[in-house]
């Protein structure tokens, strides 16, 4: 016993003696971290400057090194242990961890200094170690004869229909004056834009319909007026080459070659005097185009310009929003026809065995002509020895062995053009943040529909993007790298997107090589970065087993993101202490494993947790440990009630599900703590959503959460006597205010006993407190900060809500699902000018009733979904002059298209019209006055609707693009 006492005494004595030394170590630790922070800020700024000067393999490696270094520093900081009161004891026995921490900081300083020195001494453009850039720049500078260079591209399948569409757009419209028209052909790289433009060029190059037909390649034109000079040179050359009908040989236009007059007419002079057709291929920047179009006459010209581009915003800018033709992928039949014709060099029916074993090729090529022709050329080299094994091998390894930029095998040189196109998608992105966003998409499997908002929340949680994260994703959509599957809200916000198969193959190989993503797919070997020093940071497990997770061994310690698809979740995540992202959507086996859920609560750095469709039935109270959690998704689970601890998470901003909010005690410290938190600390932005009924209202959250902007609520319309009488929801519900049937005798306690939060609640300072059916509506009116978006699923509350609306309405986005008795009168609707988005589902109103919505002057997006066709189609949807004056996009989703009439001057801002009505075929007699929609640029139809709409579109002055809406994914619900 005495020995133990002496040991403890000596430890305490030594702890006291090192107090001053302890302060010194703490100061060094703090100073070292600040020094690293300053150095990293300088290196990041230096790298941004270098990123604008040059790009290449060496620069990419430096970015990767800095990223890995930043992760190591962040993990180190997160793992720091600062000794508290009992920490002095560890110091005394020489177990103070800060000694080792100071050594780590010194190593970090050496690393960051080395990176900074490398960057400072790196100047100028660097050679591309992968051998692709030189070819790319040479191809970009090409501007030769299109007939010679791309003759084979004109043989692409299914070219007749798009070609006739462009030819129609080149013709003058009825009643059109003399004005320059620009037609844009837009689509991803390799889809056949240039081939289509060259097919049209071939039609007119030898005809006399135009005085001049010129071809210009815009690639490489980055300097001011560089493209304009190219266009002028090409136009003058073509005019000199062909004798004009109205000129004799003596007065033909002089050329530089003839040594005549040095004065040359400007582009405006030429286009004003002659009818020219100019093709400008591969325009990538709006600023490059602007100098050219400014030099063109706005009026007094019947000339035409055809632009090809892979950037949607450029296409819109060139054609002012109209005359934009978007290239689609080849159908399954056209893909196979093109493929086998290129394999055999002629039209030949392939053997059945080859047809069967080539399905993976068509699946990965996804109707992209450049991919199909590249694979076909490769198989054509084999010739008569072509067997099924060759098709299977190419299909399985298309990304890894053939599209990988580092593959120098001469046998796959036919894939050079495909690799160049894919590389351009990556290199052309503005900066490293955009490229990181693109590589991050390698997490998702082929065909997966990515929810855009969820992706942005993931990127923010990992620190890959800042608050401008949406812009990075929008840039990928704009450049046709990511394809919208479901578009809403004025055709600008892509709700769901997916990556084309070939592009995804390229992204996977590049993201794995750069250690952005590690993949486990089926029973295939783990796809992991080749650098041995790199840790596994993000893991995606696809259609595999949870046992594969154990293959990583020690690599789990640095894991920041774990995403699982069609896989049972791992049984143990205790070693994954650095996890920020955990996405288990659709995983089975979580319904009874409460121990696993409680284990999740030990992941203290977790910011994003997705448990959607996991069949869990209860959230543990231990979730209060997740103090950094920002997003929690428990939609389509069995969780019926939310623990109080979840609502009080300090960083929780996005909460999704269908649950009852927790009951709150009427008084006491717990009530005070909740109200104080909601009013001053809660950052909850989205609550979508919760269930309420006549006996229970969400007043403690709806009223007090000041940062709340988006709410979705299910209102239970079941009779009140079907539920037992619950305890009061909050301290604000005084006994005298409750219905007589539920009133309890007074306790005799004075106000001094009731919590102070009771008197601070806004509803206690009003004459009328929320009660019964109208609780929710009154709570909305009593909020100090208004909501921005509201979704209600309840016939009763929807009617109450509409009746309570007063102008000006502070809610900009409204979704209502439930039977409505009527709409507010036109005078009241006119006052609600701040409503920008309105979506109505199963309201039971007729299309004639709904036409009254045209009085909403600020409305930009309107969606009407109805399944009762007989009532819905009763009457005519008539839009008067100046009706829907701000509406940009309208969607009608019903079995049958109702009658519609657009009068002149109506819907002046409408650009997109969605008609998702599968049982409707012919527009004649159904829609009247569609030509009055002055800015209409696209009509999106249900996939079952006939092509008769093409005739209607061609009769419109803008000739809007007619597209098919992709089928909804299985299991999709209205959210």
Pairwise CA distance, residues 381 & 414, whole Å: 10
The full length of the chain comes to: 975
**DSSP assigned state of 601:** T
Quick one: 185 and 211 in the same domain? yes
- The residue ranking higher by pLDDT, 449 or 408, is 449
Model confidence pLDDT, tens digit, residues 314-335 = 998 898 767 888 888 998 999 9
- The residue ranking higher by pLDDT, 573 or 952, is 573
Q: Which of 337, 404, 398 is nearest to 365 (CA)?
A: 398
Quick one: 610 and 580 in the same domain? yes
Q: Does the structure show a pLDDT above 70 at 881?
A: yes
Q: Does the structure show a pLDDT above 60 at 821?
A: yes
Pairwise CA distance, residues 703 & 473, whole Å: 34
Least confident of 372-376, 650-654, 697-701: 697-701
Model confidence pLDDT, tens digit, residues 53-110 = 556 667 777 777 777 777 777 777 776 654 443 444 444 445 556 667 777 777 777 7
pLDDT at 67: 75
Secondary structure element (H or E) that encloses residue 701, with its range: helix 699-702
Residue 145's contacts (CB-CB under 8 Å, 6 or more residues apart) are 215
pLDDT at 768: 41
DSSP, residue by residue, 273-315: HS-EEEEEE----HHHHHHHHHTS-SBS---EEEEEES-HHHH
- The residue ranking higher by pLDDT, 22 or 765, is 22
Query: What is the CATH number for 202?
Result: 3.40.50.300
Q: Does the structure show a pLDDT above 80 at 916?
A: yes
* Average pLDDT estimate for 445-467: 87
466 found inside a domain:
yes
Q: Does the structure show a pLDDT above 80 at 897?
A: yes
Residue 864's contacts (CB-CB under 8 Å, 6 or more residues apart) are 839, 840, 847, 850, 891, 892, 893, 894
- Tokens 């009254």 found at: 852
Residue 223 token pair: 């300097």
Model confidence pLDDT, tens digit, residues 606-658 = 999 999 998 888 899 899 999 999 999 999 999 988 998 999 999 999 999 99
954 forms beta bridges with none
Model confidence pLDDT, tens digit, residues 4-49 = 344 444 444 554 554 445 566 667 766 777 777 676 666 666 666 6
* Average pLDDT estimate for 953-958: 77
* pLDDT band, very low/low/confident/very high, at 761 (cuts 50, 70, 90): very low
* pLDDT band, very low/low/confident/very high, at 290 (cuts 50, 70, 90): confident
Domain end among 72, 92, 120:
120
Quick one: 297 and 394 in the same domain? no
* Average pLDDT estimate for 214-241: 87
Q: Please count the structural domains in the chain.
A: 5
Quick one: 483 and 609 in the same domain? yes
Q: Does the structure show a pLDDT above 70 at 970?
A: no
The residue range of the domain holding 505 is 427-661
| Cα distances (angstroms) measured from residue 371 to each of 151, 213, 342, 419 | 17, 30, 12, 10
**DSSP assigned state of 158:** T
41 found inside a domain:
yes
Q: Does the structure show a pLDDT above 70 at 738?
A: no
Q: Does the structure show a pLDDT above 60 at 253?
A: no
696 found inside a domain:
no
Pairwise CA distance, residues 584 & 573, whole Å: 13
Domain end among 426, 449, 470:
426
765 found inside a domain:
no
Pairwise CA distance, residues 298 & 295, whole Å: 9
792 phi, psi to nearest 5 deg:
-125, 130
Q: Tell me if residue 946 falls in helix, strand or coil.
A: coil
878 found inside a domain:
yes
790 found inside a domain:
no
* Average pLDDT estimate for 834-850: 93
- pTM (whole model) above 0.85: no
Quick one: 275 and 371 in the same domain? no
Least confident of 54-58, 520-524, 602-606, 684-688: 54-58
Pairwise CA distance, residues 188 & 197, whole Å: 15
Quick one: 287 and 406 in the same domain? no
pLDDT at 226: 86
Residue 811 token pair: 């809610």
- The residue ranking higher by pLDDT, 124 or 838, is 838
* pLDDT band, very low/low/confident/very high, at 361 (cuts 50, 70, 90): very high
767 found inside a domain:
no
Q: What is the average pLDDT score of the chain?
A: 77
Report cis status (omega within 30 of 0) of the bond before 808: yes
Pairwise CA distance, residues 535 & 531, whole Å: 9
Residue 609 token pair: 């947790």
Pairwise CA distance, residues 379 & 381, whole Å: 5
The percent of residues above 70 in pLDDT, for the chain, comes to 73
Q: Does the structure show a pLDDT above 60 at 696?
A: no
Q: Does the structure show a pLDDT above 60 at 582?
A: yes
pLDDT at 799: 86
pLDDT at 34: 73
pLDDT at 314: 92
Pairwise CA distance, residues 98 & 77, whole Å: 12
Quick one: 510 and 402 in the same domain? no
Query: What is the CATH number for 555?
Result: 3.80.10
Burial class (CB in 10 A: 0-12, 13-18, 19+), 929: middle
How far, rounded to the nearest angstrom, does the alpha carbon of residue 690 sit from its chain's CA centroid? Answer: 26
Model confidence pLDDT, tens digit, residues 139-170 = 444 444 444 444 444 456 678 888 988 988 88
Q: Does the structure show a pLDDT above 80 at 418?
A: yes
- Tokens 């300083």 found at: 109
- Tokens 């430890």 found at: 11
Report cis status (omega within 30 of 0) of the bond before 689: yes
CB-based contact 848:820 (threshold 8 Å): no
Residue 128's contacts (CB-CB under 8 Å, 6 or more residues apart) are 56, 57, 134
Quick one: 396 and 311 in the same domain? no
End-to-end CA distance of the chain: give it in Å, rounded: 69
Quick one: 874 and 898 in the same domain? yes
313 phi, psi to nearest 5 deg:
-65, -35
* pLDDT band, very low/low/confident/very high, at 493 (cuts 50, 70, 90): low
CB-based contact 55:47 (threshold 8 Å): no
**DSSP assigned state of 790:** E
Quick one: 567 and 654 in the same domain? yes
Domain end among 426, 453, 484:
426
- Tokens 């590389």 found at: 423
622 found inside a domain:
yes
Quick one: 885 and 928 in the same domain? yes
Pairwise CA distance, residues 338 & 851, whole Å: 48
Quick one: 84 and 191 in the same domain? no
């Amino acid at each position: 016993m005495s020995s133990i006492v002496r040991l403890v005494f000596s430890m305490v004595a030594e702890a006291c003696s090192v107090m001053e030394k302890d302060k010194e170590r703490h100061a060094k630790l703090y100073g070292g971290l600040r020094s690293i922070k300053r150095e990293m800020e300088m290196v990041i700024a230096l790298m941004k400057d270098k990123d604008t000067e040059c790009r290449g393999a060496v620069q990419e490696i430096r970015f990767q090194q800095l990223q890995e270094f930043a992760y190591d520093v962040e993990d180190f900081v997160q793992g720091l242990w600062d000794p508290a009161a009992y920490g002095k004891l560890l110091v005394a026995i020489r177990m103070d961890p800060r000694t080792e921490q100071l050594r780590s900081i010194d190593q970090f300083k050496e690393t960051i200094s080395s990176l900074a020195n490398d960057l400072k001494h790196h100047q100028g453009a660097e050679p591309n170690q992968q051998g692709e850039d030189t070819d790319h720049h040479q191809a970009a500078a090409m501007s030769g004869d299109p007939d010679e260079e791309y003759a084979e591209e004109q043989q692409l399948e299914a070219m007749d229909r798009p070609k006739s569409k462009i030819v129609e757009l080149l013709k003058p419209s009825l009643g059109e004056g003399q004005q320059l028209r620009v037609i844009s052909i837009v689509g991803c790289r390799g889809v056949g834009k240039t081939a289509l433009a060259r097919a049209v060029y071939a039609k007119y190059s030898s005809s006399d319909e135009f005085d001049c037909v010129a071809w210009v390649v815009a690639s490489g034109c980055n300097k001011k007026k560089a493209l304009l000079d190219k266009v002028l040179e090409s136009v003058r050359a073509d005019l000199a080459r062909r004798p004009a009908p109205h000129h004799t040989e003596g007065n033909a236009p002089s050329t530089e070659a003839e040594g005549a007059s040095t004065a040359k007419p400007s582009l405006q002079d030429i286009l004003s005097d002659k009818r020219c057709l100019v093709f400008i291929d591969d325009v990538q920047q709006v600023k490059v185009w602007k100098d050219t179009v400014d030099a063109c006459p706005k009026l007094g010209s019947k000339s035409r310009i055809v632009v090809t581009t892979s950037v949607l915003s450029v296409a819109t800018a060139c054609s002012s929003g109209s005359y934009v033709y978007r290239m689609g992928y080849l159908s399954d039949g056209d893909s196979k026809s093109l493929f086998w014709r290129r394999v055999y060099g002629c039209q030949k029916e392939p053997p059945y065995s080859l047809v069967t074993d080539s399905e993976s090729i068509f699946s990965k090529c996804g109707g992209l002509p450049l991919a199909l022709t590249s694979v076909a050329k490769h198989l054509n080299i084999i010739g008569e020895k072509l067997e099924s094994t060759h098709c299977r091998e190419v299909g399985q390894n298309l990304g890894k062995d053939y599209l990988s930029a580092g593959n120098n095998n001469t046998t796959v040189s036919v894939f050079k053009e495909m690799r160049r196109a894919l590389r351009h998608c990556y290199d052309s992105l503005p900066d490293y943040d955009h490229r990181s966003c693109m590589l991050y998409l390698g997490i998702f499997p082929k065909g997966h529909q990515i929810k855009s908002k969820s992706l942005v929340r993931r990127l923010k949680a990992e620190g890959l993007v800042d608050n401008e994260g949406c812009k990075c994703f929008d840039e990928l959509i704009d450049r046709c790298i990511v394809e919208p599957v479901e578009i809403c809200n004025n055709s600008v916000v892509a709700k769901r997107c997916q990556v084309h198969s070939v592009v995804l193959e390229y992204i996977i190989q590049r993201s794995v090589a750069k250690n952005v993503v590690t993949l486990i797919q089926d029973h295939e070997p783990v796809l992991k970065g080749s650098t041995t020093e790199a840790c596994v940071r993000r893991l995606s497990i696809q259609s595999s087993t949870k046992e594969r997770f154990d293959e990583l061994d020690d690599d789990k310690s640095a894991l920041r993101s774990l995403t699982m698809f069609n896989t049972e979740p791992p049984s143990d995540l205790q070693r994954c202490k650095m996890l920020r992202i955990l996405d288990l959507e659709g995983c089975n086996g979580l319904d009874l494993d409460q121990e696993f859920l409680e284990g999740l609560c030990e992941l203290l750095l977790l910011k994003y947790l997705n448990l959607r469709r996991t069949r869990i039935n209860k959230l543990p109270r231990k979730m209060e440990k997740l103090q950094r959690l920002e997003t929690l998704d428990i939609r389509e689970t069995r969780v019926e009630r939310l623990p109080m601890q979840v609502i009080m998470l300090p960083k929780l901003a996005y909460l999704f599900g269908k649950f009852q909010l927790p009951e709150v005690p009427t008084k006491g410290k717990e009530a005070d703590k909740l109200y104080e938190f909601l009013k001053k600390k809660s950052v909850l932005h989205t609550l979508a959503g919760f269930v309420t009924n006549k006996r229970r209202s969400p007043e403690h959250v709806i009223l007090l959460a000041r940062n709340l902007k988006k709410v979705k609520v299910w209102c239970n319309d079941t009779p009140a006597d079907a539920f037992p009488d619950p305890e009061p929801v909050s301290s604000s519900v005084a006994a005298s205010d409750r219905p007589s049937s539920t009133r309890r005798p007074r306790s005799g306690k004075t106000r001094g006993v009731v919590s102070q939060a009771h008197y601070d609640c806004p509803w206690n300072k009003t004459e009328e407190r929320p009660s019964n059916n109208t609780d929710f509506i009154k709570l909305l009116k009593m909020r100090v900060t208004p909501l921005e978006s509201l979704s209600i699923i309840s016939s009763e509350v929807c009617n109450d809500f509409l009746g309570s609306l007063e102008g000006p309405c502070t809610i900009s986005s409204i979704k209502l699902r439930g039977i409505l008795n009527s709409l507010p009168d036109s005078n009241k609707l006119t006052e609600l000018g701040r409503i920008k988005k309105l979506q109505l589902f199963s309201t039971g109103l007729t299309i004639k009733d709904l036409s009254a919505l045209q009085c909403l002057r600020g409305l930009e997006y309107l969606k009407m979904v109805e399944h009762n066709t007989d009532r819905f189609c009763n009457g005519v949807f008539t839009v008067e002059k100046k009706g829907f004056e701000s509406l940009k996009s309208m969607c009608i989703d019903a079995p049958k298209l109702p009658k519609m009439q657009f009068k002149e001057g109506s819907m002046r801002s409408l650009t997109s019209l969605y008609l998702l009505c599968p049982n409707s075929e012919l527009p004649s007699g159904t829609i009247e006055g569609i030509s009055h929609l002055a800015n209409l640029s696209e009509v999106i139809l249900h996939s079952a609707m006939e092509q008769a709409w093409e005739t209607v579109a061609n009769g419109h002055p803008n000739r809007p693009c007619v597209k098919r809406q992709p089928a909804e994914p299985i299991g999709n619900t209205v959210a």
